[in-house]
Structure 1
Amino acid sequence: MFTLGIDIGSTTSKCVLLKDGTHIVAQALVDAGIGTEGPEEAFQSILAQSGLSPEEITRKTATGYGRTRWQGADNEISELTAHALGCHFLIPEARTVIDIGGQDAKVISLDEKGRMSGFVMNDKCAAGTGRFLEVMAGILKLEVDQLGDLAAQSVQPVNISSTCTVFAESEVISQLANGADRADVVAGICQSVAGRVAALAKRAGVRQQVCMSGGVARNRGVREALSQALEVPVVWSPMAQMAGALGAALHAWQKCGKPT
Protein backbone atom coordinates (compact mmCIF):
# COMPACT_ATOMS: atom_id res chain seq x y z
CA MET A 1 0.00 0.00 0.00
CA PHE A 2 1.29 3.45 -0.92
CA THR A 3 0.60 6.65 1.04
CA LEU A 4 1.80 10.16 0.29
CA GLY A 5 2.54 13.20 2.39
CA ILE A 6 2.90 16.70 0.98
CA ASP A 7 4.29 19.61 2.98
CA ILE A 8 3.44 22.96 1.40
CA GLY A 9 5.51 25.71 2.93
CA SER A 10 5.85 29.41 2.25
CA THR A 11 8.83 28.91 -0.06
CA THR A 12 9.13 25.16 -0.76
CA SER A 13 6.95 22.13 -1.48
CA LYS A 14 8.01 18.68 -0.29
CA CYS A 15 6.54 15.24 -1.04
CA VAL A 16 7.31 11.80 0.39
CA LEU A 17 5.86 8.51 -0.86
CA LEU A 18 5.77 5.56 1.56
CA LYS A 19 5.19 1.88 0.92
CA ASP A 20 3.51 -0.04 3.76
CA GLY A 21 4.32 2.74 6.23
CA THR A 22 8.01 1.82 6.45
CA HIS A 23 9.79 2.20 3.12
CA ILE A 24 10.46 5.58 1.50
CA VAL A 25 9.86 4.97 -2.19
CA ALA A 26 10.34 8.51 -3.50
CA GLN A 27 10.79 12.08 -2.32
CA ALA A 28 10.71 15.44 -4.02
CA LEU A 29 11.50 19.04 -3.09
CA VAL A 30 10.57 22.03 -5.23
CA ASP A 31 11.71 25.58 -4.42
CA ALA A 32 8.21 27.01 -4.76
CA GLY A 33 5.53 26.97 -2.10
CA ILE A 34 2.01 28.17 -1.45
CA GLY A 35 0.37 30.08 -4.29
CA THR A 36 2.59 28.52 -6.98
CA GLU A 37 2.71 25.35 -9.07
CA GLY A 38 5.29 23.97 -6.65
CA PRO A 39 3.00 21.48 -4.86
CA GLU A 40 1.77 19.97 -8.11
CA GLU A 41 5.32 19.84 -9.49
CA ALA A 42 6.47 17.95 -6.40
CA PHE A 43 3.57 15.53 -6.73
CA GLN A 44 4.23 14.92 -10.42
CA SER A 45 7.89 14.27 -9.61
CA ILE A 46 6.82 11.57 -7.14
CA LEU A 47 4.65 9.93 -9.80
CA ALA A 48 7.51 10.02 -12.31
CA GLN A 49 10.00 8.52 -9.84
CA SER A 50 7.68 5.75 -8.66
CA GLY A 51 5.92 4.96 -11.93
CA LEU A 52 2.59 5.03 -10.08
CA SER A 53 -0.66 6.65 -11.15
CA PRO A 54 -2.52 8.89 -8.65
CA GLU A 55 -5.14 6.15 -8.23
CA GLU A 56 -2.49 3.70 -7.01
CA ILE A 57 -1.74 5.91 -4.01
CA THR A 58 -4.25 4.88 -1.33
CA ARG A 59 -4.23 8.10 0.66
CA LYS A 60 -2.66 11.55 0.41
CA THR A 61 -2.26 13.84 3.43
CA ALA A 62 -1.26 17.51 3.29
CA THR A 63 0.49 19.61 5.90
CA GLY A 64 2.32 22.92 6.07
CA TYR A 65 1.43 26.56 5.65
CA GLY A 66 -0.52 25.88 2.44
CA ARG A 67 -2.08 22.54 3.38
CA THR A 68 -5.64 23.71 2.68
CA ARG A 69 -4.77 24.80 -0.86
CA TRP A 70 -3.86 21.48 -2.50
CA GLN A 71 -6.90 19.83 -4.03
CA GLY A 72 -5.31 16.39 -4.28
CA ALA A 73 -5.27 15.75 -0.53
CA ASP A 74 -7.67 13.37 1.21
CA ASN A 75 -7.08 15.13 4.55
CA GLU A 76 -4.89 17.71 6.28
CA ILE A 77 -2.88 17.70 9.50
CA SER A 78 -1.02 20.38 11.44
CA GLU A 79 2.69 20.91 11.02
CA LEU A 80 3.13 20.02 14.69
CA THR A 81 1.64 16.56 14.21
CA ALA A 82 3.54 16.02 10.96
CA HIS A 83 6.96 16.94 12.36
CA ALA A 84 6.36 14.89 15.50
CA LEU A 85 5.61 11.80 13.42
CA GLY A 86 8.38 12.43 10.91
CA CYS A 87 11.09 13.07 13.48
CA HIS A 88 10.12 10.02 15.54
CA PHE A 89 10.48 7.91 12.38
CA LEU A 90 13.90 9.41 11.57
CA ILE A 91 15.25 9.69 15.13
CA PRO A 92 13.21 7.43 17.48
CA GLU A 93 15.09 8.63 20.59
CA ALA A 94 14.11 12.29 19.98
CA ARG A 95 12.20 13.87 22.87
CA THR A 96 12.47 17.55 21.82
CA VAL A 97 11.93 18.58 18.20
CA ILE A 98 12.91 22.07 17.06
CA ASP A 99 11.50 23.11 13.70
CA ILE A 100 12.60 26.51 12.38
CA GLY A 101 10.26 27.15 9.47
CA GLY A 102 10.03 29.96 6.99
CA GLN A 103 7.30 31.79 8.90
CA ASP A 104 7.57 30.48 12.47
CA ALA A 105 9.57 28.40 14.94
CA LYS A 106 8.13 25.44 16.81
CA VAL A 107 9.36 23.35 19.73
CA ILE A 108 7.58 20.01 20.14
CA SER A 109 7.87 17.69 23.14
CA LEU A 110 7.55 13.96 22.44
CA ASP A 111 6.94 11.04 24.77
CA GLU A 112 8.72 7.70 24.57
CA LYS A 113 6.30 6.48 21.88
CA GLY A 114 6.85 9.55 19.74
CA ARG A 115 3.52 11.13 20.57
CA MET A 116 3.33 14.91 20.95
CA SER A 117 2.99 15.79 24.62
CA GLY A 118 3.28 19.58 24.32
CA PHE A 119 4.54 22.43 22.17
CA VAL A 120 5.30 26.13 22.04
CA MET A 121 5.63 28.24 18.92
CA ASN A 122 6.54 31.70 17.76
CA ASP A 123 4.56 32.97 14.79
CA LYS A 124 4.43 36.66 15.73
CA CYS A 125 7.80 37.82 14.46
CA ALA A 126 10.18 36.86 11.64
CA ALA A 127 13.21 36.96 13.97
CA GLY A 128 14.21 33.40 14.77
CA THR A 129 12.75 31.98 11.54
CA GLY A 130 13.96 30.90 8.14
CA ARG A 131 12.71 34.17 6.72
CA PHE A 132 15.16 36.05 8.96
CA LEU A 133 18.03 33.99 7.54
CA GLU A 134 16.83 34.64 3.97
CA VAL A 135 16.78 38.41 4.57
CA MET A 136 20.25 38.36 6.12
CA ALA A 137 21.64 36.19 3.31
CA GLY A 138 20.26 38.68 0.82
CA ILE A 139 22.10 41.54 2.49
CA LEU A 140 25.33 39.57 2.36
CA LYS A 141 24.81 38.50 -1.29
CA LEU A 142 24.88 34.85 -0.23
CA GLU A 143 22.69 31.81 -0.69
CA VAL A 144 21.04 30.63 2.53
CA ASP A 145 22.86 27.29 2.22
CA GLN A 146 26.20 29.13 2.35
CA LEU A 147 25.60 30.64 5.78
CA GLY A 148 26.49 27.59 7.87
CA ASP A 149 29.90 26.95 6.31
CA LEU A 150 30.81 30.63 6.43
CA ALA A 151 29.80 30.86 10.11
CA ALA A 152 32.21 27.99 10.84
CA GLN A 153 35.09 30.22 9.67
CA SER A 154 34.30 32.90 12.25
CA VAL A 155 36.96 33.89 14.79
CA GLN A 156 34.97 36.47 16.75
CA PRO A 157 31.21 36.49 16.07
CA VAL A 158 29.61 39.91 16.21
CA ASN A 159 26.62 40.55 18.44
CA ILE A 160 23.33 41.06 16.59
CA SER A 161 21.18 42.42 19.39
CA SER A 162 18.08 43.71 17.59
CA THR A 163 14.93 41.64 18.13
CA CYS A 164 13.26 42.98 14.98
CA THR A 165 14.24 41.81 11.50
CA VAL A 166 14.14 45.36 10.11
CA PHE A 167 16.41 46.72 12.84
CA ALA A 168 18.68 43.66 12.63
CA GLU A 169 19.05 44.35 8.91
CA SER A 170 20.30 47.85 9.68
CA GLU A 171 22.59 46.46 12.37
CA VAL A 172 24.17 43.99 9.95
CA ILE A 173 24.70 46.70 7.34
CA SER A 174 26.36 48.89 9.99
CA GLN A 175 28.64 46.04 11.09
CA LEU A 176 29.75 45.48 7.51
CA ALA A 177 30.26 49.21 6.94
CA ASN A 178 32.49 49.31 10.04
CA GLY A 179 34.70 46.59 8.61
CA ALA A 180 33.43 43.51 10.41
CA ASP A 181 34.46 40.24 8.82
CA ARG A 182 31.63 38.58 6.88
CA ALA A 183 32.18 35.26 8.62
CA ASP A 184 31.89 36.95 12.00
CA VAL A 185 28.70 38.69 10.90
CA VAL A 186 27.19 35.42 9.66
CA ALA A 187 28.12 33.67 12.91
CA GLY A 188 26.42 36.48 14.81
CA ILE A 189 23.28 36.04 12.67
CA CYS A 190 23.23 32.30 13.37
CA GLN A 191 23.69 32.92 17.08
CA SER A 192 20.88 35.47 17.02
CA VAL A 193 18.46 32.93 15.54
CA ALA A 194 19.65 30.21 17.90
CA GLY A 195 19.26 32.45 20.95
CA ARG A 196 15.64 33.23 20.17
CA VAL A 197 14.79 29.60 19.45
CA ALA A 198 16.63 28.41 22.57
CA ALA A 199 14.51 30.74 24.71
CA LEU A 200 11.42 29.19 23.11
CA ALA A 201 12.74 25.68 23.77
CA LYS A 202 13.40 26.43 27.43
CA ARG A 203 9.78 27.49 27.80
CA ALA A 204 8.71 24.09 26.49
CA GLY A 205 11.22 22.21 28.60
CA VAL A 206 14.26 20.64 26.98
CA ARG A 207 14.56 16.86 27.13
CA GLN A 208 17.28 14.93 25.35
CA GLN A 209 17.61 13.81 22.65
CA VAL A 210 17.10 17.20 20.99
CA CYS A 211 16.74 17.15 17.22
CA MET A 212 16.23 19.78 14.55
CA SER A 213 13.64 19.46 11.82
CA GLY A 214 13.04 21.47 8.66
CA GLY A 215 15.35 23.16 6.19
CA VAL A 216 17.26 25.28 8.73
CA ALA A 217 18.56 22.03 10.25
CA ARG A 218 21.03 21.96 7.34
CA ASN A 219 22.62 25.17 8.65
CA ARG A 220 25.68 24.10 10.63
CA GLY A 221 26.05 27.54 12.19
CA VAL A 222 22.53 27.55 13.66
CA ARG A 223 22.81 23.92 14.84
CA GLU A 224 26.07 24.53 16.68
CA ALA A 225 24.88 27.84 18.16
CA LEU A 226 21.66 26.18 19.31
CA SER A 227 23.61 23.36 20.94
CA GLN A 228 25.73 25.91 22.81
CA ALA A 229 22.68 27.93 23.89
CA LEU A 230 20.86 24.84 25.17
CA GLU A 231 24.01 23.20 26.55
CA VAL A 232 22.99 19.84 25.07
CA PRO A 233 23.82 18.08 21.78
CA VAL A 234 21.48 18.87 18.89
CA VAL A 235 21.19 16.12 16.29
CA TRP A 236 19.61 16.11 12.85
CA SER A 237 18.84 13.78 9.98
CA PRO A 238 19.86 14.42 6.37
CA MET A 239 16.10 14.10 5.71
CA ALA A 240 15.26 16.85 8.21
CA GLN A 241 13.77 19.11 5.54
CA MET A 242 11.43 16.28 4.49
CA ALA A 243 10.26 15.47 8.03
CA GLY A 244 6.90 17.23 7.66
CA ALA A 245 6.06 15.47 4.41
CA LEU A 246 7.24 12.17 5.86
CA GLY A 247 5.04 12.68 8.92
CA ALA A 248 2.06 13.42 6.69
CA ALA A 249 2.67 10.19 4.76
CA LEU A 250 2.86 8.28 8.05
CA HIS A 251 -0.40 9.88 9.17
CA ALA A 252 -2.00 8.80 5.89
CA TRP A 253 -0.86 5.25 6.69
CA GLN A 254 -2.45 5.50 10.14
CA LYS A 255 -5.71 6.77 8.62
CA CYS A 256 -5.80 3.58 6.58
CA GLY A 257 -6.04 1.73 9.88
CA LYS A 258 -2.39 0.74 9.94
CA PRO A 259 -0.08 1.00 12.99
CA THR A 260 3.25 2.82 12.81
Structure 2
Amino acid sequence: MQDAVTVQQDANRTEVKRGLSTSAALPLVQAAGIGVDIGSTWAKAVAVDGAGTLMASVCLPTGWSSKEALKAIQQALAEQGILVDEAPLVATGYGREAVANAAKRVTEITCHACGAAALFPEETLTIIDIGGQDTKVIACRDGRVEEFYMNDKCSAGTGRFLEIMAQRLDVSVGELDHIARTHTEELSISAMCTVFAESEVISLIGGGASKENIAWGVLQSVVKKVSQEFAKLSEVQGQVVLTGGLCDSAYFIELVANALGRTVVSSPEARLAGAYGAALIAKDLKKK
Protein backbone atom coordinates (compact mmCIF):
# COMPACT_ATOMS: atom_id res chain seq x y z
CA MET A 1 0.00 0.00 0.00
CA GLN A 2 1.44 3.35 -0.97
CA ASP A 3 0.96 6.57 0.97
CA ALA A 4 -0.07 4.58 4.04
CA VAL A 5 1.40 7.24 6.30
CA THR A 6 0.22 10.77 5.68
CA VAL A 7 0.82 14.05 7.48
CA GLN A 8 -1.69 16.84 7.23
CA GLN A 9 -0.30 20.28 6.45
CA ASP A 10 -3.47 22.32 6.86
CA ALA A 11 -3.88 25.43 8.97
CA ASN A 12 -5.16 23.48 11.96
CA ARG A 13 -2.09 21.21 12.12
CA THR A 14 0.28 24.17 11.79
CA GLU A 15 -1.49 25.93 14.66
CA VAL A 16 -1.29 22.85 16.86
CA LYS A 17 2.41 22.40 16.18
CA ARG A 18 3.07 26.05 16.94
CA GLY A 19 1.18 25.70 20.23
CA LEU A 20 3.39 22.78 21.25
CA SER A 21 6.62 24.74 20.91
CA THR A 22 8.31 25.17 24.30
CA SER A 23 11.70 26.38 23.17
CA ALA A 24 11.05 30.02 24.05
CA ALA A 25 10.03 31.41 27.44
CA LEU A 26 6.32 32.15 27.53
CA PRO A 27 4.78 35.12 29.36
CA LEU A 28 2.82 34.31 32.51
CA VAL A 29 -0.66 33.58 31.17
CA GLN A 30 -3.91 32.04 32.32
CA ALA A 31 -4.97 28.85 30.60
CA ALA A 32 -8.64 28.26 29.87
CA GLY A 33 -8.26 24.57 30.65
CA ILE A 34 -5.61 22.03 31.62
CA GLY A 35 -5.74 18.32 30.82
CA VAL A 36 -3.59 15.77 32.62
CA ASP A 37 -3.23 12.22 31.32
CA ILE A 38 -1.30 10.04 33.74
CA GLY A 39 -0.61 6.75 32.03
CA SER A 40 1.19 3.72 33.37
CA THR A 41 4.35 4.67 31.46
CA TRP A 42 4.12 8.34 30.48
CA ALA A 43 2.42 11.33 32.06
CA LYS A 44 1.22 14.08 29.74
CA ALA A 45 -0.39 17.47 30.21
CA VAL A 46 -1.77 20.11 27.87
CA ALA A 47 -2.87 23.69 28.51
CA VAL A 48 -5.30 25.34 26.09
CA ASP A 49 -6.62 28.86 25.63
CA GLY A 50 -10.24 29.89 25.21
CA ALA A 51 -10.22 28.91 21.54
CA GLY A 52 -8.92 25.44 22.34
CA THR A 53 -5.46 26.12 20.91
CA LEU A 54 -2.57 24.36 22.62
CA MET A 55 -0.53 26.79 24.70
CA ALA A 56 1.94 24.37 26.30
CA SER A 57 2.50 20.67 26.76
CA VAL A 58 4.44 18.30 29.01
CA CYS A 59 5.39 14.66 28.45
CA LEU A 60 7.54 12.83 30.98
CA PRO A 61 7.92 9.33 32.46
CA THR A 62 5.30 8.54 35.09
CA GLY A 63 7.89 6.88 37.31
CA TRP A 64 6.93 5.01 40.44
CA SER A 65 4.28 7.47 41.66
CA SER A 66 1.39 9.18 39.87
CA LYS A 67 1.42 11.88 42.54
CA GLU A 68 5.10 12.63 41.97
CA ALA A 69 4.47 12.73 38.23
CA LEU A 70 1.69 15.27 38.80
CA LYS A 71 4.04 17.53 40.79
CA ALA A 72 6.59 17.39 37.97
CA ILE A 73 3.89 18.20 35.41
CA GLN A 74 2.64 21.21 37.36
CA GLN A 75 6.18 22.53 37.77
CA ALA A 76 6.93 22.06 34.06
CA LEU A 77 3.76 23.93 33.05
CA ALA A 78 4.59 26.75 35.46
CA GLU A 79 8.06 26.99 33.94
CA GLN A 80 6.39 27.46 30.56
CA GLY A 81 4.49 30.45 31.92
CA ILE A 82 1.15 28.76 32.60
CA LEU A 83 -0.79 29.68 35.74
CA VAL A 84 -1.66 26.18 36.93
CA ASP A 85 -3.62 27.03 40.09
CA GLU A 86 -6.44 29.01 38.50
CA ALA A 87 -7.42 27.01 35.41
CA PRO A 88 -9.96 24.16 35.64
CA LEU A 89 -8.21 20.80 35.38
CA VAL A 90 -9.53 17.49 34.05
CA ALA A 91 -7.64 14.28 34.78
CA THR A 92 -7.64 11.09 32.75
CA GLY A 93 -5.59 7.94 32.35
CA TYR A 94 -4.38 5.16 34.60
CA GLY A 95 -3.47 7.52 37.46
CA ARG A 96 -6.34 10.01 37.25
CA GLU A 97 -7.54 9.27 40.79
CA ALA A 98 -4.20 10.58 42.08
CA VAL A 99 -4.99 14.07 40.78
CA ALA A 100 -6.56 15.49 43.92
CA ASN A 101 -7.19 18.98 42.51
CA ALA A 102 -9.04 17.77 39.41
CA ALA A 103 -12.35 19.48 38.74
CA LYS A 104 -13.41 16.29 36.96
CA ARG A 105 -12.03 12.85 36.14
CA VAL A 106 -12.89 11.45 32.73
CA THR A 107 -12.09 8.08 31.13
CA GLU A 108 -9.27 7.97 28.59
CA ILE A 109 -11.69 6.62 25.97
CA THR A 110 -13.74 9.82 26.09
CA CYS A 111 -10.68 12.07 26.24
CA HIS A 112 -8.91 10.35 23.34
CA ALA A 113 -12.00 10.72 21.17
CA CYS A 114 -12.28 14.42 22.03
CA GLY A 115 -8.58 15.11 21.52
CA ALA A 116 -8.26 13.13 18.30
CA ALA A 117 -11.30 14.89 16.84
CA ALA A 118 -9.59 18.24 17.49
CA LEU A 119 -6.29 17.09 15.98
CA PHE A 120 -7.93 15.42 12.98
CA PRO A 121 -11.09 17.42 12.27
CA GLU A 122 -13.26 14.87 10.50
CA GLU A 123 -16.91 14.08 11.21
CA THR A 124 -16.12 10.41 11.82
CA LEU A 125 -12.90 8.87 13.08
CA THR A 126 -11.66 5.42 13.95
CA ILE A 127 -8.91 5.74 16.53
CA ILE A 128 -6.21 3.22 17.32
CA ASP A 129 -4.50 4.08 20.59
CA ILE A 130 -1.51 2.07 21.78
CA GLY A 131 -0.79 2.88 25.40
CA GLY A 132 1.69 1.49 27.87
CA GLN A 133 -0.66 -1.20 29.22
CA ASP A 134 -3.55 -1.38 26.77
CA THR A 135 -4.50 -1.08 23.12
CA LYS A 136 -7.79 0.58 22.25
CA VAL A 137 -9.84 1.04 19.10
CA ILE A 138 -12.47 3.76 19.25
CA ALA A 139 -15.12 4.70 16.71
CA CYS A 140 -16.37 8.24 17.20
CA ARG A 141 -18.52 10.85 15.52
CA ASP A 142 -18.06 14.57 16.17
CA GLY A 143 -15.71 13.72 19.04
CA ARG A 144 -18.23 11.46 20.77
CA VAL A 145 -17.57 7.76 21.33
CA GLU A 146 -19.90 5.41 19.47
CA GLU A 147 -18.08 2.11 20.02
CA PHE A 148 -14.79 0.95 21.51
CA TYR A 149 -12.79 -2.16 22.36
CA MET A 150 -9.72 -2.74 24.51
CA ASN A 151 -7.32 -5.64 24.83
CA ASP A 152 -7.61 -7.90 27.84
CA LYS A 153 -5.50 -7.55 30.99
CA CYS A 154 -2.25 -8.45 29.28
CA SER A 155 0.62 -6.32 28.01
CA ALA A 156 0.74 -8.14 24.67
CA GLY A 157 0.32 -5.68 21.79
CA THR A 158 1.05 -2.64 23.96
CA GLY A 159 3.80 -0.10 24.33
CA ARG A 160 5.17 -1.97 27.33
CA PHE A 161 5.46 -5.11 25.21
CA LEU A 162 7.55 -3.19 22.67
CA GLU A 163 9.73 -1.69 25.39
CA ILE A 164 10.53 -5.13 26.82
CA MET A 165 11.36 -6.56 23.41
CA ALA A 166 13.45 -3.53 22.47
CA GLN A 167 15.43 -3.84 25.70
CA ARG A 168 16.08 -7.50 24.93
CA LEU A 169 17.48 -6.43 21.54
CA ASP A 170 19.45 -3.58 23.18
CA VAL A 171 17.72 -0.89 21.12
CA SER A 172 15.15 1.83 21.77
CA VAL A 173 11.56 1.52 20.59
CA GLY A 174 12.35 4.12 17.94
CA GLU A 175 15.34 2.12 16.76
CA LEU A 176 13.21 -1.02 16.73
CA ASP A 177 10.91 0.65 14.21
CA HIS A 178 13.86 1.86 12.15
CA ILE A 179 15.78 -1.42 11.91
CA ALA A 180 12.65 -3.48 11.24
CA ARG A 181 12.31 -1.75 7.87
CA THR A 182 15.56 -3.38 6.71
CA HIS A 183 14.49 -6.95 7.59
CA THR A 184 15.41 -9.73 5.17
CA GLU A 185 13.22 -12.47 6.62
CA GLU A 186 9.66 -12.40 7.94
CA LEU A 187 10.05 -14.02 11.34
CA SER A 188 6.96 -14.85 13.38
CA ILE A 189 6.62 -14.24 17.12
CA SER A 190 3.81 -16.68 17.82
CA ALA A 191 3.40 -16.21 21.59
CA MET A 192 0.94 -13.47 22.60
CA CYS A 193 1.97 -13.50 26.27
CA THR A 194 4.81 -11.05 26.89
CA VAL A 195 6.77 -13.50 29.05
CA PHE A 196 6.57 -16.29 26.48
CA ALA A 197 7.23 -13.87 23.62
CA GLU A 198 10.39 -12.67 25.35
CA SER A 199 11.53 -16.29 25.70
CA GLU A 200 10.82 -16.75 22.00
CA VAL A 201 12.93 -13.70 21.16
CA ILE A 202 15.77 -15.03 23.33
CA SER A 203 15.62 -18.31 21.41
CA LEU A 204 15.74 -16.45 18.10
CA ILE A 205 18.76 -14.46 19.25
CA GLY A 206 20.43 -17.69 20.35
CA GLY A 207 19.69 -19.20 16.96
CA GLY A 208 21.51 -16.40 15.18
CA ALA A 209 18.53 -14.41 13.86
CA SER A 210 19.36 -10.80 13.05
CA LYS A 211 18.05 -7.85 15.07
CA GLU A 212 16.32 -6.54 11.97
CA ASN A 213 14.38 -9.73 11.39
CA ILE A 214 13.44 -10.12 15.07
CA ALA A 215 12.37 -6.46 15.20
CA TRP A 216 10.05 -7.05 12.24
CA GLY A 217 8.52 -10.05 13.99
CA VAL A 218 8.01 -8.03 17.17
CA LEU A 219 6.24 -5.21 15.32
CA GLN A 220 4.09 -7.69 13.44
CA SER A 221 3.06 -9.24 16.76
CA VAL A 222 1.67 -5.86 17.85
CA VAL A 223 0.07 -5.30 14.45
CA LYS A 224 -1.70 -8.65 14.82
CA LYS A 225 -3.12 -7.59 18.20
CA VAL A 226 -4.27 -4.26 16.80
CA SER A 227 -5.94 -6.03 13.88
CA GLN A 228 -7.81 -8.34 16.26
CA GLU A 229 -9.27 -5.43 18.22
CA PHE A 230 -10.01 -3.48 15.03
CA ALA A 231 -11.97 -6.41 13.60
CA LYS A 232 -14.39 -6.25 16.54
CA LEU A 233 -15.81 -2.92 15.39
CA SER A 234 -19.24 -3.31 13.87
CA GLU A 235 -18.43 -0.63 11.29
CA VAL A 236 -15.33 1.36 10.39
CA GLN A 237 -16.07 4.91 9.28
CA GLY A 238 -14.03 7.93 8.35
CA GLN A 239 -10.34 8.45 8.79
CA VAL A 240 -8.25 5.92 10.72
CA VAL A 241 -5.81 7.65 13.07
CA LEU A 242 -3.11 6.40 15.42
CA THR A 243 -2.64 7.99 18.82
CA GLY A 244 -0.34 7.04 21.68
CA GLY A 245 3.39 6.58 22.01
CA LEU A 246 4.04 5.09 18.56
CA CYS A 247 2.97 8.15 16.58
CA ASP A 248 6.54 8.76 15.43
CA SER A 249 7.02 5.13 14.34
CA ALA A 250 6.52 5.54 10.60
CA TYR A 251 7.24 1.94 9.65
CA PHE A 252 4.90 0.58 12.32
CA ILE A 253 2.13 2.83 11.00
CA GLU A 254 2.82 1.52 7.51
CA LEU A 255 2.56 -2.07 8.74
CA VAL A 256 -0.75 -1.34 10.48
CA ALA A 257 -2.11 0.30 7.34
CA ASN A 258 -1.10 -2.67 5.23
CA ALA A 259 -2.69 -5.12 7.67
CA LEU A 260 -5.96 -3.20 7.82
CA GLY A 261 -6.04 -2.35 4.12
CA ARG A 262 -6.66 1.29 5.00
CA THR A 263 -4.71 4.51 5.10
CA VAL A 264 -3.64 5.36 8.65
CA VAL A 265 -2.67 8.91 9.62
CA SER A 266 -0.88 10.23 12.66
CA SER A 267 1.36 13.04 13.86
CA PRO A 268 3.78 13.60 16.76
CA GLU A 269 1.08 15.62 18.55
CA ALA A 270 -1.28 12.64 18.53
CA ARG A 271 0.53 11.09 21.48
CA LEU A 272 -1.04 13.95 23.49
CA ALA A 273 -4.59 13.18 22.35
CA GLY A 274 -5.82 12.09 25.78
CA ALA A 275 -4.41 15.12 27.59
CA TYR A 276 -5.60 17.44 24.82
CA GLY A 277 -9.12 16.04 25.03
CA ALA A 278 -9.07 16.44 28.81
CA ALA A 279 -7.96 20.07 28.43
CA LEU A 280 -10.79 20.80 25.99
CA ILE A 281 -13.30 19.27 28.41
CA ALA A 282 -11.78 21.40 31.20
CA LYS A 283 -12.14 24.53 29.06
CA ASP A 284 -15.83 23.85 28.61
CA LEU A 285 -16.26 23.38 32.38
CA LYS A 286 -15.17 26.96 32.83
CA LYS A 287 -18.10 28.16 30.74
CA LYS A 288 -20.67 26.52 33.03
Give the alignment's TM-score, normalised by structure 1. 0.93
Residue in 1 that maps onto 2:187 = 158
Residue in 1 that maps onto 2:98 = 69
Q: Distance in 2 between matches of 1:82 and 1:33?
A: 22
1:65-113 alpha-carbon deviations (Å, 9 max, x no partner): 00001122111000000100010000112510000111111100012x2
Change (3 A) 1:53 1:63: closer
Contact 2:77 2:84 in 1 (8 A): no
Change (3 A) 1:53 1:81: closer
Percentage of identical aligned residues? 41
Residue in 2 that maps onto 1:237 = 267
Q: Distance in 2 between matches of 1:123 and 1:133?
A: 17
Residue in 2 that maps onto 1:45 = 76
What SS does the corresponding residue of 2:41 show, helix, strand or coil?
Answer: coil
Q: Distance in 2 between matches of 1:9 and 1:34?
A: 11
2:211 pairs with one of 162, 171, 182:
182
Contact 2:129 2:242 in 1 (8 A): yes
Q: Distance in 1 between matches of 2:32 and 2:147?
A: 30
Residue in 1 that maps onto 2:16 = none
Q: Distance in 1 between matches of 2:84 and 2:189?
A: 50
Query: How far apart are 1:207 and its partner, in Å?
Result: 2.6
Contact 1:193 1:222 in 2 (8 A): no
What SS does the corresponding residue of 1:84 show, helix, strand or coil?
Answer: helix
Residue in 2 that maps onto 1:17 = 47
Contact 1:208 1:232 in 2 (8 A): no
Contact 1:8 1:33 in 2 (8 A): no
Letter in 2 for 1:19: D
2:230 pairs with one of 183, 197, 201:
201
How many residue pairs get matched?
A: 255
Query: How far apart are 1:33 and its partner, in Å?
Result: 4.6
1:118-163 alpha-carbon deviations (Å, 9 max, x no partner): 1111132111111110110111111222211111222223111112
Q: Distance in 1 between matches of 2:270 and 2:60?
A: 15
Name structure 2 gaps, 5 residues minimum: 1-30
Change (3 A) 1:210 1:33: farther
Question: In the alignment, does 2:146 pair up with 1:117?
Answer: yes
Change (3 A) 1:243 1:51: closer
Q: Distance in 2 between matches of 1:123 and 1:88?
A: 26
Contact 2:111 2:278 in 1 (8 A): yes
Contact 1:14 1:39 in 2 (8 A): no
What SS does the corresponding residue of 2:171 show, helix, strand or coil?
Answer: coil
State how 1:120-159 maps to structure 2 within 5 Å. 120-159=149-188
Contact 1:86 1:244 in 2 (8 A): yes
Q: Distance in 1 between matches of 2:243 and 2:152?
A: 17
Alignment RMSD (CA, Å): 1.6
Q: Distance in 2 between matches of 1:82 and 1:34?
A: 24
Contact 1:21 1:250 in 2 (8 A): no
1:149-199 alpha-carbon deviations (Å, 9 max, x no partner): 111222223111112111111111111111111111101101110111111
Letter in 2 for 1:181: S
Query: How far apart are 1:27 and its partner, in Å?
Result: 0.4
Q: Distance in 1 between matches of 2:137 and 2:77?
A: 29
Q: Distance in 2 between matches of 1:78 and 1:201?
A: 20
